Structure 1
């Protein structure tokens, strides 16, 4: 039994040595594999990055049309989708009561003028008689007060005539601007009033369209720093593209006209407005799309995002120095295209960095 145990011990020792030697042979290969990384040498060049933002499309003016007087609609002067000019009639509301009110107001003005003329004659006559000591001062003052009252009544009658004339004019509802007529939910015979909850229609001025999108506070800061200040940014920013809801690209480019100066506390964003020409009337108010905003950087260093490691608010790359990975803190632009970063500080042309798999690299790793 003792002889058998010694044989087993020898056999186990031989197997263990064999396994250890095999693992020693494989270790260098594994080490070489783990330290092989894609590297790149950074260079300075002009770079254009594009950022995409969800956007809503509105007409230059979307004006809800409400009646200013009550009555039934007598006539529809337009149809849905029709192009109209400023001042063109859209609806006509029953004019009979307002025409009668205007005639009454006009008659009241004429009566008030006649009363004023009579009061003026009486006052002048009493003034001459008073000078001759024919009438008393009381009679003169009474005639003067009657004259002043007649003047006030004429002014009141004229104001009522103006109001009646305006009300009569309001029976013809006109377009306040050039544009396109929206839906017409009310038809001939419908009773309408100034306090109704929904408009008669909406007139959209769509010769140019406003496209609104939101950008974050960090993107706003990056934009401001890139151009120096917001006024310079608006002057020098390149034209932007619009991708429509069917993923087609609109054939005209737009200009960023304004950026809100107030950051929304709830969303942390600001609203920017782009103007697109709409001569073809392809864009419609209420539609949605995507705005593509290019950012052009001159003589900059751009690196792939796979070459970076984000640690909270810091960005790190690994330089290759004497064959070893050395972590380096860099500053990148706040605007990116989702694939690359523009490096503002921390790298210079000629530096060699790990371009892929930076998250697997450790300080001092031998890079092959």
Structure 2
């Protein structure tokens, strides 16, 4: 039995040593998603968070001090230009107006008296009864009384203006904002908060930021001799509301900020949207979608590539093994896709999963998916 055991052991060792001379088959490490590349026409959407404002947001502030006597509108109410919003009570103005009116009446009486004196003096001078010097004096007195009348009228007119400030009207058609004060509240021109804000929201501005690189990508493919010509030809943009619904009117990009923000490296952008239904309000948030139209191009997800040193690499199937190939690409606005200029063709099968983990020569089991489905999923 011992001899048999030794013999079996030797045979086993020989068999083991002999096995080392044969190359073991390479094991498959797993299943990964792969797409058959194809040229396509597509619209890709780059999304940017935005804040909304009306074309005019006007703070309503009192020009005089006093107490709120009447509030004639409510928060969220639509108002017309010239519509009365508030009345401010200032009893001092009523008293001042009585005094100013009395001053005007007194000045008018003084002018009438001076005119009468001039009328009486002229015949006496003509008859030589009194000297021309006396006539000159009464004429100067008349001029002084007229000047006092003008000053009294100016003060009265200023008082009327101040009284007019007690009635506060809307300067534009718009929507009333928050009203922080109530009847009886003391207010003046230096009060911290405005009485309210009236927003002209017939058109809504959407403000958002894009990076310097995204700005260059957007305008690079648009024809135009000047930057303004390029802006005018940017396709219409969409707005996704905070509830996830698509706003039913497209908008238009109007301006980019003149300089990039050195702290954030971003441009501020303004797009305008019609708002006839008054659905959008100042202060709302939304997401702006900028479409990019592409024709007869190979599009791949950015995550299907990796940057190695100074090259960008993609991975394709070579038989059942992974093969790395260098590619030249252009970024599509939004940071999710590349347009392939060199390195890949319609015949290639692109590995889109396990990038950064797989190495060249790895055997995988491909799980084929459609490129259109991948692009659609990534665009969400």
* 1:9 Cα offset (Å): 7.8
SS of match in other structure, 1:333: strand
The equivalent of 1:262 in structure 2 is: 259
* 1:70 Cα offset (Å): 0.9
Alpha-carbon separation, structure 2, partners of 1:185 and 1:48: 47
* 1:17 Cα offset (Å): 2.1
Structure 2 unmatched runs, 5+: 367-380
Structure 1 residue 184 corresponds to structure 2 residue 183? no
Cα distance, 1:347–1:161 mapped onto 2, change above 3 Å? farther
Question: Structure 1 residue aligned with 2:75, among 74, 80, 101?
Answer: 80
Alpha-carbon separation, structure 1, partners of 2:140 and 2:265: 67
Instruction: Indicate the structure with greater helix content.
Output: 1
* 1:252 Cα offset (Å): 2.6
The equivalent of 2:377 in structure 1 is: none
The runs of at least 4 consecutive aligned structure 1 residues that moved more than 6 Å come to 3-6, 116-126, 142-148, 319-324, 361-368
Matches within 5 A, 1:277-292: 277-292=274-289
The equivalent of 2:342 in structure 1 is: 346
Alpha-carbon separation, structure 2, partners of 1:319 and 1:173: 72
* 1:55 Cα offset (Å): 1.4
* 1:261 Cα offset (Å): 1.9
SS of match in other structure, 1:227: coil
> TM-score w.r.t. structure 1 length?
0.76
Alpha-carbon separation, structure 2, partners of 1:347 and 1:213: 35
Residues 64-102 of structure 1, C-alpha deviations (whole Å, 9 max, x = no match): 211111111221211222211111001111154324433
Question: Structure 1 residue aligned with 2:333, among 332, 335, 347?
Answer: 335
Cα distance, 1:324–1:279 mapped onto 2, change above 3 Å? closer
The equivalent of 2:20 in structure 1 is: 20
Cα RMSD for the two superposed structures: 4.3
Alpha-carbon separation, structure 1, partners of 2:144 and 2:233: 66
Question: Structure 1 residue aligned with 2:193, among 195, 198, 213?
Answer: 198
The equivalent of 2:164 in structure 1 is: 169
Structure 1 residue 62 corresponds to structure 2 residue 57? yes
Alpha-carbon separation, structure 1, partners of 2:82 and 2:310: 57
Cα distance, 1:56–1:122 mapped onto 2, change above 3 Å? same
Residues 38-70 of structure 1, C-alpha deviations (whole Å, 9 max, x = no match): 464553x43311011111122222222111111
* 1:362 Cα offset (Å): 6.5
Does structure 1 conserve the Cα–Cα contact (< 8 Å) formed by 2:212 and 2:260?
A: yes
Does structure 2 conserve the Cα–Cα contact (< 8 Å) formed by 1:325 and 1:366?
A: no
Alpha-carbon separation, structure 2, partners of 1:331 and 1:120: 94
For this pair of structures, how many residues does the alignment match? 354
Structure 1 unmatched runs, 5+: none
SS of match in other structure, 2:221: helix
Cα distance, 1:75–1:123 mapped onto 2, change above 3 Å? same
Alpha-carbon separation, structure 2, partners of 1:264 and 1:157: 56
The equivalent of 1:249 in structure 2 is: 246
